[in-house]
Chain A
Amino acid sequence: EDQVTQSPEALRLQEGESSSLNCSYTVSGLRGLFWYRQDPGKGPEFLFTLYSAGEEKEKERLKATLTKKESFLHITAPKPEDSATYLCAPRYNTDKLIFGTGTRLQVFP
């Protein structure tokens, strides 16, 4: 069965304190890995798609990277408005997105 694990479960950062979130996934049959942000009471908001190992994408303070076994979401100099749950979701040959349980990020001023 396809597996995806996100770590840490929760992360508390001071404003400006950079860090990384991890997403580990089953390798075979990967057809893309998606990152979403979810705010409380809202639907997931699309951030990035990565398709092959070595690929990187950036948006403001966020950078997503993909290796053969895992993906990282790097957050540089975060601000309180970056507080949210970050979800990764690999997609396999079945066309389904398999969501991880997310990393709940809190950034304090």
Chain B
Amino acid sequence: DTAVSQTPKYLVTQMGNDKSIKCEQNLGHDTMYWYKQDSKKFLKIMFSYNNKELIINETVPNRFSPKSPDKAHLNLHINSLELGDSAVYFCASSHDPQRGTDTQYFGPGTRLTVL
């Protein structure tokens, strides 16, 4: 009965490679998010999608491209990986923030290591 799930949990790859992280939620939420947590544990939002539409797009390199095939899924594709992309990436979901009840529930995280 996992609420927000991410795969893979760990991802180790070489610089320059392209990789994807998948996220799924079974909470019936219509808004999903990607966050990056760096080595100093600072958690910062990257993107949010509401009903498959991009709502928040922070200052993130365009090597990062989110894709939402449906309301329950939000994947993150990263091109030409760099050393500085090493971090833990968290997916989260919530009801539409505009409707009030907007608590965000987080997945377990994907630890990306770029060598």
Contact = CB atoms under 8 A, between A and B. Distances in A.
Interface of A: 32, 34, 36, 41-46, 49, 85, 87, 91, 94-97, 99, 101-102
Contacts of A42: 108-109
A97 B41 contact: no
Interface residues of B, number: 22
Contacts, number: 45
Contact of A101 (B41, B102, B109): B41
Contacts of A95: 48, 55-56, 97-98, 102
Contact of A97 (B40, B104, B108): B104
A99 to B, nearest CB: 4
B103 A96 contact: no
A96 B56 contact: yes
Interface in B50-106: 55-56, 90, 92, 97-98, 102-106
